[in-house]
Structure 1
Amino acid sequence: MESAVTRLNKFLSEAGYCSRRAADKLIEEGRVTVNGKHPEMGTKVSSTDEVSVDGKVVSIKKKSRVYIAFNKPVGVVCTTDTRVEKNNIIDFINYPSRIFPIGRLDKDSEGLILLTDDGDIVNKILRSSNNHEKEYIVRVDKPISQTFVKRMSEGVPILDTMTKPCRVQKLSRDSFKIVLTQGLNRQIRRMCSYLDYEVESLKRVRIMNINLMSDVGEYRNLTKEELNTLNKALKSSKKTW
């Protein structure tokens, strides 16, 4: 009987090495080999194939999954490529096993980011059409007007698209709360800039049902209740592939 086959990017994801998207990048960069040869995109592998990344064999092992919530400081970069960035999130946390961030939080921002070795959950959370909420507290460089709140909540044109309607609440003279269901590159900063405001500080305080509850630079394991609620919310979610 032939061994079951799976796409190479899915294999790396299920092995807890990285997300499928990151796996595709590794394949494109020529850092992945299958039985000693560089594979094409979309290659399928079985349990009898030897998959390596940067010369190190990757295998799927049955183990308990890791799910942590990290309060990222300003200056830390959300990348798993430790060769490129010195202030990368992986070296900063120095977790004892391989994990990777779910999505990104730009270098100049702080707050909640989830990390895991479960590639499947990464794909479900990242897909913007699943409308998963992310909440931020933002401080800008001048007083916030009602016009600003209205236009931000209705959507503004950035990156050749119109941002989705979102919830915006003024908190003080120069700060507001915003809840997004999409994750365009530097979205809040670009939205504010379009309306002639400059972001002075940006903190993510919630992803879906997970709230920021640790000090800056610290991480915690998700509770059993948080994981159960998260998995229920993700049950009907589509994957990115």
Structure 2
Amino acid sequence: MITAAGIDHLMNRGWPAAHSTELDGWLVRRAAGVTLRANSVLPAGAPYDLGKALDYVETLYQAHGITPSFQISPAAQPTDLDDHLATRGYQLKNPTLVQCAEIADVLAALPSSAVEVNISSVADDAWMQFWWQNDGRGGPAEQAVARQILDRGPALYATIRSGDQIAAIGRLALVDDWSGLYCIATDPAFRRQGLAQAVIRALLQKATTQGVRHVYLSVLANNTPALTLYTRLGFTTLSRYHYRTLA
């Protein structure tokens, strides 16, 4: 059974920041403010001097125009870090569940689909533009940083088209014999047609040909419709995290 620390490690590799600084057990991640995960501290170990470590993180992030943030999971160190951050004025943000499953179980639960799904190992410009229009935050500069994040690790990219128009996309990060679902998005005009499930099926089928056996995903704890779907597909919650962001 994978540990909470192991899940943190997988997810960090599946969405790697452009820059990371080791700080006495902490991984201080920076990506020009693009996505909270890539611009937060992963506190994997306990610093010798917590106060000095916090001062360093805040000074570094503020020097780069980034709001100081921490990703807090059950594996966060020191174990009372969340309390220290709350006392210091950090606000709780985005309670999230991390769910995992065996790919074979998910494929068995997914309905078959005749929809054609294109799978590539590279996100082309059309895929990137569609994702950014649906889920991006910022302009061309931020989009360029986001592409750097995607390109820093191996992954599979799925695209469903309707004529010349993209209808749905998805990304599956590849980390050893694990994979992580990201960037699942459907054009509003094509929703409720099973395209997201077709994307997931195609990505996982391709991953099995590369020896990948497990899949994880993150979902906001209050997203009941998504949690209902993932439970039906065989996912179970193995960890959780939230962010602490300096107000």
Give TM-score, length-normalised by structure 1. Answer: 0.28
Give the number of the structure with larger relative contact order, counting CA–CA contacts within 8 Å between residues 6 or more apart.
Answer: 2
More helix by share: 2
More strand by share: 2
Q: State the structure with more CA Rg.
A: 1
